[in-house]
Amino acid sequence: MTDTPQETLANLLTETRRFDPPPALAATANVTAEAYEQASADRLGFWEQAARRLHWGTDWEQTLDWTNPPFAKWFIGGKLNVAYNCLDRHVEAGNGDRVAIYWEGEPAGDERVVTYAELLTEVKKAANALTDLGVVAGDRVAIYLPMIPEAAVAMLACARIGATHNVVFGGFSVDALSGRINDATAKVVITADGGYRRGKPSALKPTVDESVALAPSVEKVLVVRRTGEDVAWTDKDVWWHDAVGGASEDHEAQDFDAEHPLFILYTSGTTAKPKGILHTTGGYLTQASYTHHAVFDLKPESDVYWCTADIGWVTGHSYIVYGPLSNGATQVMYEGTPDTPHRGRFWEIVEKYKVTLLYTAPTAIRTFAKWGDDIPAKFDLSSLRILGSVGEPINPEAWIWYRDNIGSGKTPIVDTWWQTETGAMMISPLPGVTSTKPGSAQRPLPGIAADVVDDEGNSVPNGGGGYLVLREPWPSMLRTIWGDDQRFIDTYWSKFDAMYFAGDGAKRDDDGDIWLLGRVDDVMLVSGHNISTTEVESALVSHPKVAESAVVGATDPITGQGIVAFVILRGSVEPDDGLTTELRNHVAAKLGPIAKPRQIMLVPELPKTRSGKIMRRLLRDVAEHRSLGDVTTLQDSAVMDLISQGMDKGKPED
């Protein structure tokens, strides 16, 4: 007797709700359904056309060199300057007075308005200051800053002179910062005395001082004065206001090869040495610019765009700095947290600046839902016309909450899938084309060859689940892992022949649309069924009493793994003795008995990284009563103590 083939990934959750594009938006959309046809007929020709949206000093001779996979080269022979494309050309076109950045500091009344002409001047001066400090094309510069305009200025100044920047999130530790500085052998570090977080100054300079002491490659530290607090000073330190403030405003941008290294960005690396993801110039800017234009339907003359990410993550690189500015966008940049000084802070900012395009993370959306519908209802959000989601799969009910409470029940949602490694969006609805489904990223964008495959690398049929792969190179793809080509091959190209795989599971629904199911590391094997944590979490969040959940598989002597769920209730809900049974039965009704959690823990908060991603690894440690692993990348390490105490008191249910 032969065994029945086991599904690569079970497909349990169904979704029948559909939302068509608003007719008025569809009628004026930047990108129509024709783009899919063009890309399908001539993929390289499609990307050539997208690249023509930029200014090239020297045209390319060949669009793609894929003779030595997985090492791609795009727009071979072409030359351009990223900062020129983001600034100079807009000013030269007569748009220097357009606002580039509305900056909102966390302290009340702390704000700046920066036009394109002013931003260009600051970038020219910063480029001259870096040159005076000895930085030349090809050098690496580490950036460790809060969310202030100088962060964008620093990145663009590096791009202008051909220095490769390495931005590190301003909350990382000495070990994390020094490790990244050393791996990239950075010559200069750009930092600040500190920033504001949750109502008080948060120092950055002391972390930099300790890190630089461990980093022999660093020659100078350029320091922005933000909080005005006293800082220690060494002979390597230079004040930004002295070096940049005193620099010349004259600087001519030099063109660089399309494959010139633009930036290195390190993955979090909680369990291994962080990977320095290398992105280059021409292909990266082409795709970041085109996708921002297409997916947000940006009208630079009238839209106000706000991406709530930090520049320390790839979302901040592609969709705060390079994508929006290359398109001449006016955008909001906010320094602080969404609950300072009150929980309506985001919606206050949307109302103040009449934000039209908003891009945020599912973890933030679920948090807003937990805080209550009444908070956003106090603000005028009628300016919003497109909402975006990024960072992880979004639960259908969180998607609906976002549309109803932030988008007035009518605003299209673009749920985007992409990664640090892909550089730019890969799968997303197009707001003027796609009939959206809550929770689905829908289809690969034009020019992208994404697929869902089984263990053998064969495409799964509609209704099946498996591994998300990319079958063809794309312009903004990572070129390698900095200093480690073999790790690049082993990490991303070894599981399937000639296909990129970075660890995400996905399924196709009956229409062929793609649903992201989280990391395959988070898949649970329950009684022979591979079940995604994302689907069980979505089922839990669909219960009206649940705001957020995280699910892990814990070793079980009978089923192999048992499903353990950690649940945060909505703010007004008081738990009772029957609630966990009610939630278990709700999951069974949604997904089937196989997905019924063995145990449900009610918790006040979940362990999240500073980028907002749930650390299920730590929850697995708790569920299996192991000592906790590394918690240094957590936003709040104290939350694990609360969860562990609750777990010790709880017991598995029948």
List the binding residues for ATP. Answer: 391-393, 415-420, 504, 519
- Between the alpha carbon of residue 509 and those of residues 234, 454, 636, the distances in Å are 59, 15, 37
Distance CA 588, CA 543 (A): 12
Alpha helices in 361-415 (DSSP H): 362-371, 374-377, 396-401
User: In 3D, which of 622, 601, 605, 623 has the Cα closest to residue 614?
Assistant: 605
C-alpha to C-alpha distance for 452 and 465, rounded to whole angstroms:
7
Task: Say how far residue 272 (Cα) sits from the centre of its chain.
Answer: 21
- Residue reference for tokens 């706000």: 306
Q: Phi and psi (nearest 5°) for 159? A: -60, -35
Binding residue numbers for Mg(2+):
541, 543, 546
Q: Which helix (H) or strand (E) holds 356?
A: none
Given a contact cutoff of 8 angstroms between Cβ atoms, the answer to whether 514 and 392 are in contact is no
Q: Which helix (H) or strand (E) holds 358?
A: strand 357-360
Binding-site sequence positions:
197-200, 315, 391-393, 415-420, 504, 519, 527, 541, 543, 546
Q: Within 10 A of 164 (CB to CB), how many other CB atoms are there?
A: 22
Q: Bin 89: left if φ > 0, else alpha if -120 < ψ < 50, else beta.
A: alpha
Rounded CA separation 219/224 (Å): 17
Measured CA to CA, the distance from residue 179 to residue 142 in angstroms comes to 11
Task: Report the C-alpha gap between 511 and 442 in whole angstroms.
Answer: 10
Structure tokens at 296: 């947000």
* 578, containing H or E segment: none
Nearest to 478 by CA among 465, 620, 470: 470
Sequential DSSP letters for 124-179: HHHHHHHHHTT--TT-EEEEE--SSHHHHHHHHHHHHHTPEEEE--TT--HHHHHH
> Which three-class secondary structure state does DSSP give residue 99?
strand
- Structure token pair of residue 497: 């022949």
- Cα dist from 530 to 100, 127, 323, whole Å: 47, 52, 38
Q: How far apart are CA 521 and CA 620, in angstroms?
A: 12
Two structure tokens written together for 241: 């206001």
Residue of 490, 553, 554, 482 lying closest to 518 (CA atoms): 553
Backbone angle region of 183, left / alpha / beta, with phi > 0 → left and psi within -120 to 50 → alpha: alpha
Token pair in block for residue 117: 């002409």
Task: Output DSSP code: residue 593.
Answer: G
Compute the half-sphere exposure of residue 626: CA atoms within 13 Å on the CB side of its CA. Answer: 12
Which residue numbers belong to the known binding site for CoA?
197-200, 315, 527
Tokens of 462: 């509609």
User: DSSP readout, 250-319?
Assistant: --PPPPEETTSEEEEEE---SSSPPPEEEEESHHHHHHHHHHHHHHTT--TTT-EEEE-S-TTSHHHIII
